[in-house]
Copies of this chain bind each other. A is one copy, B any other.
Amino acid sequence: MSTEKNHYPLSGITVIDLSHVYNGPYATFLMAMAGATVIKVEPFQGEHLRSRGDMGGAALPFAMLNSNKKPVTLNLKSEKGRELFKKMVKRADILVENFAPGVMNRLGIGAAELHKINPRLVYGSSSGYGKDGPYRDYPAMDLVMQAMCGVIDSTGFPEQPPVKSGAALCDFMAGIHLYAAIMTALYEREHTDKGRVVEVSMQDATYASLASNLGMLHARGDAAPARTGNRHGGLGISPYNVYRTKDGYVVLNAPGDHHFRSILDVMGRSDLKEDPRFLTRSSRVENFAAVDELIEGWTLTLGRNDVAQRMLAEKVPCAPVRNLSEVMHDENMHARGSLQWVNHPDLGRVVLPHSPLVFEGTQRREIEPSLPLGSANEAVFGEWLGCSNDELKALKAEGVIS
């Protein structure tokens, strides 16, 4: 099995990836794009995201998160499967899994067992609530975590029911924190020569992102509203809202007094610069209804891109509310190479993300589209682990690989 040449940050690093859906696979996707060799180990039916069909909706997410990985199938419930697995672990640097706590131990391949085989292994694990708290056995998925973490109650209009964030933020927050923890341990290994067990819970990974809302709760106690619609989560900035235009919405945010003065200039209302309702951040926050009315009265006379261009020309934080089709074709991300058009063998020509981690001075690793289940069985079990063709045939016949 050819490994990457030594010019990416993670060149030479081998990752055994047992993870599924978004959380773990995002972490290992970032490792692959940073140059690691990622072996994606799946059960015979494929990991959940590959196998769930989902009326077609899971196809692109799978492709987004599984570029540049080498997929193998392995039956970890068979003794021979576990033997093969341990041989892989012996040669690996990193293992990633996001099973429910206890699953790896029940399979007989928990961290303690694997560290006997390879003390340098960095073992990264993620779950909803972590391994050692009272909620450890609760099933966890993004929607459930958004409810438990306060994201749902904090999202939506005050007079409406709460609503989840459209982004699967608990899943992805966990995934990127998991990558971060593993990299920290990989760095540390250079000094200790020992691999660590690192762990990330979706719950822990989400908490800080509610800082504004938690701050308001702390400052106002029971008087703090649960959610503020499109106003600032701490109700501490004005203007800060979504405003209607002739053809959609814009957002506008003026954290500094100078931003607000620029807004008045753009709107042709420089006459209001000395209006005591608008002079300072505090006075604007107290008069936020008047601020919003003033602004929307103007934005409604223009198109959203026109509003945004006029405000941006004066350095006011402003943007159209874009739909996902516009986002997928974003000229800035395509110019940077963080989104790329790729000819995918199954999906045709699609837009796929590269890694958000940009290492200046090194060309981005080329995106290799995600591969069918078990595509790398020969390369990994044969070429890399050294099984002969006959052995591979036998493993297949015995139901160890597929």
What is A's interface to B at a CB cutoff of 8 Å? Answer: 9-10, 22, 26, 30, 34, 48, 52-61, 64-65, 111, 129-130, 132-136, 138-141, 143-157, 160-169, 171-173, 176-177, 179-181, 183-188, 190, 196-201, 203-220, 224, 226-230, 232-237, 240, 242, 244, 249-251, 253, 255, 281-282, 285, 312, 315-328, 330-333, 335-336, 338-339, 347, 350, 353, 356-361
B226 pairs with A323, CB closer than 8 A: yes
A312 pairs with B139, CB closer than 8 A: yes
Q: Which residues of B contact A209 (CB under 8 A)?
A: 167-169, 171-172
Q: Output the least CB separation between A186 and chain B (Å).
A: 5
Q: Which residues of B contact A321 (CB under 8 A)?
A: 147, 152-153, 162
Q: Which residues of B contact A197 (CB under 8 A)?
A: 359-361
How far does the alpha carbon of A213 sit from the alpha carbon of B64 in the complex, in Å? 12
Q: Which residues of B contact A201 (CB under 8 A)?
A: 336, 338, 356, 358
Q: Which residues of B contact A129 (CB under 8 A)?
A: 332
Q: Which residues of B contact A135 (CB under 8 A)?
A: 331-332
**Residue in chain B with minimal CB distance to A219:** B56
A211 pairs with B147, CB closer than 8 A: no
Q: This chain: how many copies in the complex? A: 2
Q: Output the least CB separation between A70 and chain B (Å).
A: 20
How far does the alpha carbon of A249 sit from the alpha carbon of B335 in the complex, in Å? 44
Q: Which residues of B contact A52 (CB under 8 A)?
A: 236, 255, 281
A64 pairs with B214, CB closer than 8 A: yes
A148 pairs with B322, CB closer than 8 A: yes
A322 pairs with B153, CB closer than 8 A: yes
3 tightest A-B contacts by CB?
A: A154-B166, A56-B219, A57-B234
